[in-house]
Amino acid sequence: MVDETSGITVVGVGTVRVPTTEAMLRLRVERRESAPGAALTEAGAIVAAAFEVLRQAGIPDTDVRTATVRVTANKAWVDNHEELQGYDAQQDLQVRVTDLAKLDELLGSLVDRCGTGLQIDDVSLSGEADAVARSQARQEAVRDAREKASEYATFAGRTLGRAESISEVRDRPAPLRRHMAMAASAGMAMPIAQGEEETTVAVEVRWSFGG
């Protein structure tokens, strides 16, 4: 935006790429049995096996959380009436993995140990920008703002003066998260590409016009 009285105000954006550092797993255990108690017992055995695999992989208990537990009656229409097919017991788990070098092996171990009762609903990779990455993004944002302001000043037939004010309008990671889902199958091999994500900073800068 060009204002020949007060100067030029623009928003600059800076983006840097940082490596992913952790994964969030969303696991689902589900069993169907003829009685609700039996369904809970069978599902509980699978959950216990999953917990053991996670502990053996060095995942701390604080990084494992039960998200939901439910038991529902499964019914279907047969010959124009509803019949009970059984009871489904389900537990959803969220697991944080900070050592991505273990991720491939961990997924395979969960599948091998828990079998078809385990569903890997989602694997989400993300990272956290450190101070150096954020500083680089800020530098890029200010550089971008200066280039835009210089262009506007040229269009207006003016020269660009000094920066009068600057404020950060966004300072948070804008990750390109990688998601995947898979059903459990014995001997599963699922290589995971860690890749990178973007961290973006935006700044609003007001420049005066030059003399």
pLDDT at 152 over 60: yes
> What is the reported pLDDT for 20?
81
Residue 170 has pLDDT above 90, yes or no: no
| CATH code: domain of residue 98 | 3.30.70.2970
Q: Are the C-beta atoms of 3 and 181 separated by less than 8 Å?
A: no
78 Cβ contact list (under 8 Å, min separation 6): none
Q: Are strands 7-19 and 22-33 parallel, antiparallel or unpaired?
A: unpaired
- Same domain? For 36 and 66 the reply is yes
Q: What is the C-alpha radius of gyration for the chain, rounded to an integer number of angstroms?
A: 27
Give residue-wise pLDDT tens across range 89-127.
999 999 999 998 889 899 999 999 998 999 999 988 887
pLDDT of residue 187: 46
Q: What is the domain extent for residue 43?
A: 22-126
Q: What are the start-end ranges of the E strands in the chain?
A: 2-3, 7-19, 22-33, 64-78, 81-97, 118-126, 160-173, 182-183, 196-209
Looking at the domain assignment, is residue 88 inside a domain? yes
Residue 71 in domain: yes
Whether residues 46 and 73 share a domain: the answer is: yes
Per-residue model confidence (pLDDT) at position 189: 53
Q: Which of 16-25, 28-37, 44-53, 167-176 bottoms out in mean pLDDT, i.e. has the lowest?
A: 167-176
Asked whether residue 70 is assigned to any structural domain, the reply reads: yes
